[in-house]
């Protein structure tokens, strides 16, 4: 049985779909792997961020994109937040946004 990826909201989906072409292509390839093999792909594709939060590590010639996600019962994966990286570290505000949204959808 394959995994199902969905977005927290249309806003999150639209933000990611507007990423530059190379980064979006990388995100799409990783998402396809997750659909087939599950979210625990490991580096360089995904990484655990703690407390049930993970990131998809998309990279293109235009830069680096991150999509923060969690898993929910029934092989359901929800993309909570996406952004283009501008600094070495993941911005605390991005992590806060994803964690807040995760609390809304987890039972």
Give the pLDDT confidence of 80-91 residue by residue, as tens digits: 999 999 888 889
* Domain count along the chain: 1
In the predicted structure, residue 65 carries a pLDDT above the cut 60 = yes
At 30 the pLDDT is: 97
pLDDT digits (tens, 9 = 90+) for 19-42: 999 999 999 999 999 999 988 899
**Rounded CA separation 52/84 (Å):** 21
At 48 the pLDDT is: 94
Q: Residue 36 sits in which domain range? A: 4-105
CATH of the domain at 101: 3.30.2310.20
pTM of the entire structure?
0.92
Cα radius of gyration (the chain): 13
- Overall average pLDDT of the 44-59 stretch: 95
Pairing of strands 76-84, 4-7: parallel
Which of 12-16, 68-72, 77-81 bottoms out in mean pLDDT, i.e. has the lowest?
68-72
């Amino acid at each position: 049985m394959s995994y199902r990826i969905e977005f927290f909201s249309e806003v999150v989906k639209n933000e990611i779909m507007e990423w530059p072409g190379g980064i979006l292509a990388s995100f799409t390839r990783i998402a396809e792997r997750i659909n087939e093999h599950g979210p625990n792909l490991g580096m360089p594709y995904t990484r655990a961020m703690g407390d049930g939060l993970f990131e998809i590590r998309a990279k293109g010639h235009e830069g680096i994109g991150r999509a923060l996600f969690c898993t929910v019962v029934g092989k359901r994966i929800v993309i909570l937040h996406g952004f283009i990286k501008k600094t070495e570290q993941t911005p605390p505000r991005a992590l806060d946004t994803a964690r807040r949204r995760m609390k809304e959808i987890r039972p």
